[in-house]
Amino acid sequence: MGRTLTIGIAITAAAALAVVPGNAASATSKKKVTKLSCAIDSYALGQPTPASPTVRHLGFVACPKPFGSGLHYNQITIDKFPAPGVAGAASGRFKNYFNRGTTRGTVVTSVVANGGPANLTFTGTVTYTGGTGKFRRVKGGGTIVCTSTDGGAHKSCTVNTTLTGV
């Protein structure tokens, strides 16, 4: 008899907690926001030209936890090539590969030649649209700044983001 009463009280208490308004909704509606600054070093697999303006980059990404270090891939199209005194534009998509999953998204930048065609600065926005594994729910965005001293063959970038779902 004592066991039946104890189990009945536990089930009743659990049921009462489940139907209290706001308990479940407030726990799921609060999204954890994570701010990260990541470094990317990438290398162009080819050189874009006006006739073939799309270029792929492969490289390394280094972020704090929960991402860590991994591989970076992007495919960028030069929408407008920079000229002396005239900013260019580039846009595309990226994917980062980490031990616990991937992240993916888009990037849109302006491109400025600083003192010649070899010294380039890319400044723009990054939008995270999802991922796989541990990062399948990642969303958010931020800024990207890249520099190149060899016409874009090698880029060093800093990405500052505010993300949810991490």
For residue 65, the 8-state DSSP code is T
In this prediction, residue 24 carries a pLDDT of 44
Count CB neighbours of 7 within 10 A: 10
Q: For residue 114, give the amino acid letter.
A: N
CB neighbour list of residue 101: distance below 8 Å, 6 or more residues apart = 131, 132, 133, 134, 135, 136
Rounded Cα distance, 36 and 39, in Å:
10
Residue from 150, 72, 65, 70 nearest 107 by CA: 72
pLDDT in tens, 23-71: 444 444 467 889 999 999 999 999 888 899 999 999 999 999 999 999 9
B/e letters for 114-123, b = 16+ CB within 10 Å, e = fewer, are: eeeeeebbbe
In this prediction, residue 114 carries a pLDDT of 85
Q: Which residues pair with 59 in a beta bridge?
A: 42, 72
Within 13 Å of residue 27, how many CA atoms lie on the same side as its CB? 5
Average pLDDT score over the chain: 85
